[in-house]
Structure 1
Amino acid sequence: MELNRDVARRGIIGAAVFLLLATVAYIGLAFISTVVFSIFLYYAVRPLYRYLCRLGFPRRLGAFTALVSFGTPFLALIGYTAAIVVFEIENLLESNDIATEAQADITDELDIGSLSVQELQTQLSNVDALPSLETVADMLFDVTGTVSGLFLQLLIIIFAVYYMLVDGPQLVSWFVDTYDDDGLLRTYMTVVDSELSATLFGNIANIFVTGIIAIVSFLGFNLLVPSTIAVPFPVLAGILIGVGTLIPVIGIKLVYLPIVAGIGANAWLVDKPGLIVPVVGLLVFSAIVLDFIPDLFIRAQFSGEKTHSGLLMIAYIVGPSLFGFYGLFLLPILLILGINAITILVPYVLSGESQTPEQSTLSEFS
């Protein structure tokens, strides 16, 4: 009888813990984008934080300094980059008469019930009729709500990263000391941590470094040459160069070769052979500075040690299409968690023995 009461008590406590964890998971899913950006920013800032700690900075001061000097400006750079991409894509669509069709499709999708978006646009475009005070107030409330929501998410990200830097190692140590008798979870978490650090920080650093170099190069090129052979949408082209680094060997070439071919064709059509010289110079510069050097040095310095680059490339491409912008980071995280779960945790589940993970590469099967 006493045993049954003990089992029942444990079952009740277990059910309560399960409900509590399910509630936490539900809240986490509601803020999934914030959680993903916090993880990404943590791995982006951690190298600087550890360097400051080695210099003698206290943990809290080192975390604060790393966030202020790198983390917050990095988030601002991401936001600015996203805004520039949207702006230049809009210009590109307008220049190719695609925006009208896209706008019509969006308008049709938003016509819900008796609400006609087209009629609403017509009314708002009538400059003779000034909006009422109530309309202005609603617009201000909407804008204020959006800004407040973004500011709240930014605060959550900054505080989450701060405490992950300061108290994260202690929390992990407590967890493995309490629940990991044979060291299996410690091995799994160590490998995952190393791969996430190399992948999230390394590949994104590669994107930003290469993209910034490309943007500056294209803008500088446009200042030195006539508009006939200017690089179209230089900021967007530079960002595409950065994103192209996710595809080894050919990714960057898929961007700069069509650009050089296009402006070279313009130089030929205007019958000015002298303009071919700067075009060839841009080709050589892109091949060496934008393509060869980043792929040889930056990728070698910042790349995952075990996760196959082809799988990472697919994750970077598929992630945004499935989850939106934050999918660029979420799907690689899930990929790394899944691969190491298969190589470390599954053998233990099947055989009861821990094994050192050794991931094969595709070249071993050729």
Structure 2
Amino acid sequence: MEIDRELRRRIGLGLVVLALAAVVGYIVWRFVAAVVFAVFLYYAVRPIYRSLGRFGLPRRTRAGLALVLFGVPFLLLVGYTLMIVALEVQGFVETYDLQTQLVERAIEEFGVAGIDLNELQEALAGAGAQASLGVALVSLGGAVSAVGSALVQLLVVVVVTYYMLIDGPRLVAWIVETFDESGALRRYARAVDPELSLTLFGNIVNVFVTAIVGVSTFYAYNFFVPPTVEVPFPALVGALAGLGSLIPVVGIKLVYVPVVLGLGATAVLSGEPALLVPVGILAAVSAVVIDFIPDFFIRALVSGERTHTGLLMVSYIVGPVVFGFYGLFLVPIVLVLATNAATILLPYVLGSRPGRQSRLEEYPDADREETTVPSAEREPAVPTEDE
């Protein structure tokens, strides 16, 4: 009887814990974008936070300085760049009348060609004239709501990042000490933390740095050259250069080389070969400032070491498609967590010792028999104590 009472008590407490976990999970999901950005910002400002420790400053002061000196300015710069890119995308769509093409294609696909579009337009115009005041009020309320929501999201990002800098390591240490008798969680945390730092702070910061440098370079170039050889939609082209940096070596070239070649052809066809000089300067500056420096210096310093490059590129592509813009951060985080869970936690769950995380390059090419390594000569999967 006593055992049944203890069991019921444990089940009741377990249900309470599950309910609280569900509520916390729901709240996190409602602010999932802000939480993901906070994780990214945490790994971006943590090197600055740690470097300030040499001056003997307390943790709270260091966290505040790291956010003020780098975190918030970086978020504002990225937000400003995204706003410029969004405006240029809208201009691009309007210039090439893509909206009309999409509407016409939709009419053709859905078989509504029999509708009198002129009559429908007149009806909509009449309804719009009657409800113009209401629409204006709704639009104003929507704008105020959007600005307020953005400020709340920004506040959540800054606050979560601040407390992750202060208490994050202590929280992880408490979880490990309390729930990890086997040592598997400790090994998992030690593997995930540096890889997340390199993956987020490396690849994604490289995208934003390349995009910002590209946008600034193309706008500066357009300021000094005649309209004939101006870079069309410089913010959009700069943003594409940033996204192209996800493909090592050739990615950025796929953006600025066609632009330079097109401007050179425009200069020749316009009968002004002297304009090839600024186009050549643009090619040289793009090759050095936008392409060479970010790709070979920033990537070499802060790129991930263990996560497979191909899977990482797929995560960058799939993330925004599935989750929206914050998927660019979320899916790489999930990829790092999943790959390390497969190599560290899964062996423990299956009852074996976790092996080291091997890389694809360590295995021979199956198509070349002469490179096949006998299984007895291969490096053992289980690490030694020194590892």
TM surpasses 0.5: yes
Letter in 2 for 1:272: E
- Given that 2:81 and 2:212 are in contact with CA atoms closer than 8 Å, whether structure 1 keeps it comes out as no
Letter in 1 for 2:319: G
Unaligned runs of 5+ in 2: 111-119, 366-387
Distance in 1 (alpha carbons) for counterparts of 2:86 and 2:361: 37
Displacement of 1:365 in angstroms is: 4.2
Q: 1:276 to 1:298 in 2, by over 3 A?
A: same
Unaligned runs of 5+ in 1: 110-116
Displacement of 1:299 in angstroms is: 0.7
Distance in 2 (alpha carbons) for counterparts of 1:242 and 1:55: 35
Q: CA RMSD in A?
A: 2.6
Could you tell me the TM-score, scaled by structure 1's length? 0.89
The answer to which of 266-275 and 155-164 deviates more is: 266-275
Matched, 1:204 2:204: yes
Distance in 2 (alpha carbons) for counterparts of 1:9 and 1:352: 34
Letter in 1 for 2:358: Q
The answer to which of 326-335 and 215-224 deviates more is: 215-224
Q: 1:165 to 1:82 in 2, by over 3 A?
A: same
Could you tell me the TM-score, scaled by structure 2's length? 0.84
Spell out, residue by residue over 1:219-276, the C-alpha distance to the aligned partner (whole angstroms, 9 max, x if none). Answer: 2222332221111111221121112111112110110111011111101211222222
- Residue matched to 1:291: 291
Give the total of aligned pairs: 356
Spell out, residue by residue over 1:123-168, the C-alpha distance to the aligned partner (whole angstroms, 9 max, x if none). Answer: 5875xx7954x65544433322222221111111111111111111
Distance in 2 (alpha carbons) for counterparts of 1:5 and 1:317: 53
Displacement of 1:31 in angstroms is: 1.6
- Residue matched to 1:157: 157
- Residue matched to 1:264: 264
Spell out, residue by residue over 1:279-303, the C-alpha distance to the aligned partner (whole angstroms, 9 max, x if none). Answer: 2332233223322232221110010
- Residue matched to 2:358: 359
Displacement of 1:8 in angstroms is: 2.5
- SS of match in other structure, 1:144: helix
Q: 1:106 to 1:158 in 2, by over 3 A?
A: farther
Distance in 2 (alpha carbons) for counterparts of 1:131 and 1:298: 52
Letter in 2 for 1:329: F
- Residue matched to 1:70: 70
Distance in 2 (alpha carbons) for counterparts of 1:288 and 1:150: 36
Structure 1 residues 343-358: aligned runs within 5 Å: 343-355=343-355, 357-358=356-357
Q: 1:119 to 1:57 in 2, by over 3 A?
A: farther
Displacement of 1:104 in angstroms is: 7.4
Letter in 2 for 1:183: G
Structure 1 residues 23-102: aligned runs within 5 Å: 23-102=23-102
The answer to which of 229-238 and 319-328 deviates more is: 229-238
Which residue of 122, 125, 142 corresponds with 1:122?
Answer: 125
Letter in 2 for 1:40: F
Distance in 1 (alpha carbons) for counterparts of 2:331 and 2:87: 26
Distance in 1 (alpha carbons) for counterparts of 2:148 and 2:213: 34
- Given that 1:90 and 1:99 are in contact with CA atoms closer than 8 Å, whether structure 2 keeps it comes out as no
Q: 1:278 to 1:145 in 2, by over 3 A?
A: closer
Letter in 1 for 2:86: V
Distance in 1 (alpha carbons) for counterparts of 2:58 and 2:103: 54
